[in-house]
Amino acid sequence: MSNQTAVTEFLLLGFSDVWELQILHFIVFLLLYLISLLGNLLIITAIALDCHLHKPMYFFLMNLSILDFGSISVTIPKSMANSFMNTKSISYSECVTQVFFFLFFASANVALLTIMAYDRYIAICQPLHYEMVMTRRACVQMAASAWVSGILYSAMHTGNTFAISFCGGNRVDQFFCEIPQLLHLACSDSYFGEVVLISLCVPLCLICFAFIIVSYVQIYKTVLRIPSEQGRHKAFSTCLPHLIVVSLFLFTGIFAFLKPTSNSTSDLNLLVAVLYTIMPAMMNPIIYSMRNKEMKRALSKLIGWRLFSKNKMSIFLP
């Protein structure tokens, strides 16, 4: 294939051609997807229905769950469908759409995680100024800025990626259309702009990560002044998992984009991709919500109300 106009589809070769292994891949991905789907949908529903959770922190949590839900829905269902139907193909337009939406959700996720760290910093380190700083209007503006920045970043990346000429065929060694793997198919003289763009965007991710680290260092310093050992343990047990997931998401993503594709094994590519595409969407509901008393109370109320409604209906049914 001499250029991009000749490419009508790509072949996703991330997993084995053996039918039994494809079914195993389908089952594993289905379980991971359902766990993530259920966790994020429960959070979105609980926050939307419970008036006690209409606060800045939970507003950002709901936005994060929507982004996680979208992010994992962009890549996993297509990979499962391919495995179940014993095919590898994804059309050119589907690949463009997948790249755009995955980059959009991922970049907006990074921006929102940074905003959430700032929200916790104000709440814990400057509690007297919290209501004045984190007003409803300010929260909406910050959330909107995360979504808009995600759209702009994704449009810029996607446009650069698919403006290049593909001279290396259409075989993508991944379970979704990953930009580094697509660049591996590009002509050597046509992807320089996208490489420069990636090199410029990586420092922005590191700046966001540094901001999150600084925010939590300040939070730790404030918490250490609390005489209650239980209060300190609660803060550490909440913040540390947050930092682990943020680190996992950012550094595996950066590694995937900066590593030499030709020098890395297929298994390593798959492992890194799973770590930054699936794990954050699974872990975020647990870390940000399931460990929160108000959220657990709202979820218990929601689930209990659903069960009670079903039992009540069954009484009137013959």
Residue 221 lies in a domain: yes
Q: Which residue has the higher pLDDT, 221 or 5?
A: 221
Dist CA 202 CA 206 (whole Å): 6
What number of other Cβ atoms are within 10 A of residue 171's Cβ?
13
What's the distance, CA 199 to chain centroid? Answer: 21
Tell me: pLDDT of 1 over 90: no
Residue 243 lies in a domain: yes
pLDDT at 42: 87
Domain count, the chain: 1
Which tokens hold the place of 175?
Answer: 């379970």
Q: Which residues have CB under 8 Å from 50's CB, separation 6+? A: 298, 301, 302
Tell me: pLDDT of 308 over 60: no
Residue 317 lies in a domain: no
Q: Which of 199, 167, 158 is nearest to 186 (CA)?
A: 167
CB burial of residue 150 (10 Å; 0-12, 13-18, 19+): buried
Q: Which of 136, 132, 72, 133 is nearest to 101 (CA)?
A: 72
> pLDDT exceeding 70 applies to what percent of the chain?
80
User: In one letter, which amino acid is 33?
Assistant: Y
**DSSP β-ladder status, 89-91 and 171-172:** unpaired
Residue 262 lies in a domain: yes
pTM value? 0.84
pLDDT at 230: 67
Residue 25 lies in a domain: yes
Helix 266-277 and helix 56-84: axis angle, to 10°? 140
pLDDT at 201: 77
Q: Which range is least confidently modeled, 59-68, 96-105, 165-174, 222-231?
A: 222-231
Tell me: pLDDT of 102 over 50: yes
CB 32 within 8 A of CB 76: yes
Helix 19-49 and helix 56-84: axis angle, to 10°? 160
Torsion angle in degrees (nearest 10) through CA of 180, 181, 185, 191: -10
Tell me: pLDDT of 3 over 50: no
Residue 38 lies in a domain: yes
What's 114's domain CATH number? 1.20.1070.10
**Which tens digits make up the pLDDT trace of 163-172?**
887 876 788 8
27: confidence class by pLDDT, cuts 50, 70, 90: very high
DSSP conformational letter for 53: G
Residue 198 lies in a domain: yes
**Which tens digits make up the pLDDT trace of 172-197?**
888 899 888 888 887 765 566 666 66
pLDDT at 235: 63
Tell me: pLDDT of 243 over 70: yes
Whole domain around residue 73: which residue ranges?
A: 4-312
CA distances from 318 to 306, 313, 314 (A): 20, 10, 8
Tell me: pLDDT of 53 over 70: yes
DSSP conformational letter for 134: S
CA distances from 8 to 159, 187, 277, 308 (A): 17, 17, 25, 52
pLDDT at 135: 92
Q: Which range is least confidently modeled, 13-22, 90-99, 269-278, 300-309?
A: 300-309
CA distances from 264 to 142, 155, 274 (A): 38, 28, 15
Q: Which range is least confidently modeled, 111-120, 212-221, 224-233?
A: 224-233
- Average pLDDT over the chain reads 80
CA distances from 126 to 103, 118, 119, 133, 239 (A): 34, 11, 10, 10, 17
Residue 318 lies in a domain: no
306: confidence class by pLDDT, cuts 50, 70, 90: low
pLDDT at 318: 42
What number of other Cβ atoms are within 10 A of residue 300's Cβ?
11
